[in-house]
Amino acid sequence: MADTVSVDVRESGSGLDGAAAPSKPTRRPTKARSPLRSVALPSEHGGWGLTLEPVLLGLLVAHSVAALCLGLATVLAFLARTPLKLAAVDARRGRTLDRTRLARKVAAVEIVALVALLAVAFATATPGFWWPILGIAPLMAVELSYDIRSRSRRLVPELAGAVGIAGMTSMMVLAGGRSTSVALGLWAILAARAIAAIPTIRDQVMKLHGRPAHPALPVIGDVVAVVVVVVAAVAEPLVIVGAVAVCAAIALQRALIAWVPTDRAVMLGIRQTVMGVSVVLATALGVLLG
């Protein structure tokens, strides 16, 4: 779930975290990855940021037992996506490997833990907190459909996954007793942040690896993101600070690309992490002070 932005360069050559190999790698000894780690931990490091940002924002704005359980369930869902994807791909190809069996076991344990967390959330949350899942589920389904076909590094599933996981913030703040307008406003802020960041970072990493870029997509993403945060701020004034933070992040992205270019993909990831955390903190501060 939500590995969006963290594209593996083996397929698309981009990644929010910048964890991309150079186009002409030098040969160096590598340590074999353990089987458990390969099926249990996502290889897309940027997905961690896109998952933890909504969890952090939800906990800052409306900390409660239910919100904490939902946040932990979100992280578990992100982790479970890796073994589920491996098992689904192998099933689609009609094969059962050692990794398939291990992936099924890991996924089963994580799903049981996830269900337990959701049960606690339902028992302790404010009634009616669950309805954002009606918007989250279709977006996750889009991402899953690409996962099964081994096409999860495309732009569409990345955007769908990022916008979908951002919706967990709305469930968390509703579970903590916040209003519907605040919940939707926070979802819009994080969705806009992802919509602006994903096309931009993909474009930059593709350029670093000498691959064809699509310069129009980052511009379209920026425009859509600005429209989304403006609408959100008009509908819910408490998220105005977050809207300004997203616009500032977009402007900073453009400035860094123009004036402080880098040939290191990892630096692109660091910049995005700092901007993401800054948007979260500014948004939370605006809501809490408001």
Query: Tens digit of pLDDT for each residue in 35-62?
Result: 788 777 777 666 788 899 999 999 999 9
Q: Extract the tokens encoding 103.
A: 């992936």
The predicted model gives 147-162 an average pLDDT of 87
pLDDT tens digits, one per residue of 120-154: 999 999 999 999 999 999 999 999 888 888 787 88
Better-scored residue on pLDDT, 216 or 265? 216
The predicted model gives 166-177 an average pLDDT of 95
Please check whether residue 29 lies inside any domain of the structure: no
For residue 82, the model assigns a pLDDT of 87
CB-CB neighbours of 34 under 10 Å: 10
- Print the domain residue range for 122: 39-289
Helix intervals (H) in 42-179 = 46-61, 65-92, 98-124, 133-148, 155-166, 168-175
How many domains is the chain partitioned into structurally? 1
For residue 32, the model assigns a pLDDT of 59
pLDDT band at 161 (very low <50, low <70, confident <90, very high): very high
Please check whether residue 5 lies inside any domain of the structure: no
Instruction: Judge whether residue 27 has pLDDT over 60.
Output: no
For residue 93, the model assigns a pLDDT of 87
For residue 22, the model assigns a pLDDT of 43
Better-scored residue on pLDDT, 22 or 87? 87
Share of the chain above pLDDT 90, in %: 58
| CATH code: domain of residue 189 | 1.10.600
pLDDT band at 19 (very low <50, low <70, confident <90, very high): very low
Please check whether residue 134 lies inside any domain of the structure: yes
Please check whether residue 268 lies inside any domain of the structure: yes
Please check whether residue 8 lies inside any domain of the structure: no
Q: DSSP characters for 224-270?
A: HHHHHHHHHHHH-GGGHHHHHHHHHHHHHHHHHHHHS--S-HHHHHH
For residue 31, the model assigns a pLDDT of 57
Instruction: Judge whether residue 33 has pLDDT over 80.
Output: no
pLDDT band at 260 (very low <50, low <70, confident <90, very high): confident
Q: DSSP characters for 77-98?
A: HHHHHHHHHHHHHHHHTT---H
Instruction: Judge whether residue 14 has pLDDT over 70.
Output: no
Of 73, 86, 75, 1, give the one whose Cα is nearest residue 38: 86
For residue 6, the model assigns a pLDDT of 42
Please check whether residue 14 lies inside any domain of the structure: no
Please check whether residue 198 lies inside any domain of the structure: yes
Instruction: Judge whether residue 174 has pLDDT over 90.
Output: yes
pLDDT tens digits, one per residue of 63-105: 899 999 999 999 999 999 888 888 888 888 888 888 889 999 9
For residue 45, the model assigns a pLDDT of 62
Please check whether residue 178 lies inside any domain of the structure: yes
pLDDT tens digits, one per residue of 197-254: 999 988 888 888 778 778 899 999 999 999 999 999 999 999 999 999 999 999 999 9
